[in-house]
Amino acid sequence: MKRSDLTPSEYGEFYGGYLNRIEGDAELIPSLENNTEEMVRFLKSIPANKWSHRYQPGKWSILEMVQHLIDTERIFQYRALSFARNEQNPLPGFDHDMYVQQSAGDHRKAGELIKEFRAVRTSGVFMFKSFTDDMYRNIGVMNEANASARAIGFIMIGHALHHKEILSNRYL
């Protein structure tokens, strides 16, 4: 399944910004796998003295941003699994700033966060590989917007690319 197979009814308008970062002919599973390795290489290239850096007061450190990526991966994976299993109850949004504040991300080690990101994403890839075509197309409601399980997989990639861009442009 390709990113271009998604229809606007499968994701909320807000998520279009993430999806637009992905080529239309991108296939979900290879793209998830490639993005995992791309992100791990990128994170490993960040100098050790930059991980606690904030580009301005009140902004997240790189440690906190990577913790945010991990938390969000888990939340998106739960949402995708819920919709693949035909969950009919709407799933709430979450306050990403509060999650970061409560994460103690600044007290983590960069290497541990990188390993955890890879582990969480790899687990998600196995989950997406287990879905049937019908499961991929199931639509539920997350954060007051429709979403299909397959759209969430692509949103995860776009979300990671979004934060890679922020890191590249504002932190490094």
pLDDT for the residue numbered 80: 98
Q: Which residues 6+ apart lie within 8 Å of 15 measured at CB?
A: 145, 147, 151, 155, 158
pLDDT score at 149: 98
* 52 in a structural domain: no
CA-to-CA distance for 114 and 22, rounded, in angstroms?
A: 22
Question: Are the CB atoms for 25 and 4 separated by under 8 Å?
Answer: yes
Strands (E), the chain: 139-142, 145-148
Contact 108, 15 (CB under 8 A): no
pLDDT at 26: 98
Q: How much is the pLDDT for 89?
A: 98
**According to the model, what pLDDT value does residue 102 have?**
97
Q: How many domains does the chain have?
A: 1
Instruction: Return the CATH number at 123.
Output: 1.20.120.450
- Residue 150 covered by a domain: yes
Q: What is the pLDDT of residue 38?
A: 98
Q: What is the pLDDT of residue 161?
A: 98
Residue 51 lies in a domain: no
Can you give the residue range of the structural domain that contains 132?
3-45+60-171
Q: Which long-range contacts (CB under 8 A, 24 or more apart) does 133-140 make?
A: 133/1, 135/84, 135/85, 136/1, 136/84, 137/10, 138/83, 138/84, 138/85, 138/86, 139/9, 139/10, 139/83, 140/79, 140/82, 140/83, 140/86, 140/87, 140/88, 140/90, 140/91
Interior/surface letters 129-159, b for 16+ CB within 10 angstroms, e for the rest = eebeeebbbbbbbbeeebbbbbbbbbbbbbb
List the pLDDT tens digit at each of the 172 positions of the chain: 999 999 999 999 999 999 999 999 999 999 999 999 999 999 999 999 999 999 999 999 999 999 999 999 999 999 999 999 999 999 999 999 999 999 999 999 999 999 999 999 999 999 999 999 999 999 999 999 999 999 999 999 999 999 999 999 999 8
User: Which one-letter amino acid corresponds to residue 36?
Assistant: T
What is the amino acid identity at position 148? S
Domain membership flag for residue 120? yes
User: What's the pLDDT at 169?
Assistant: 96
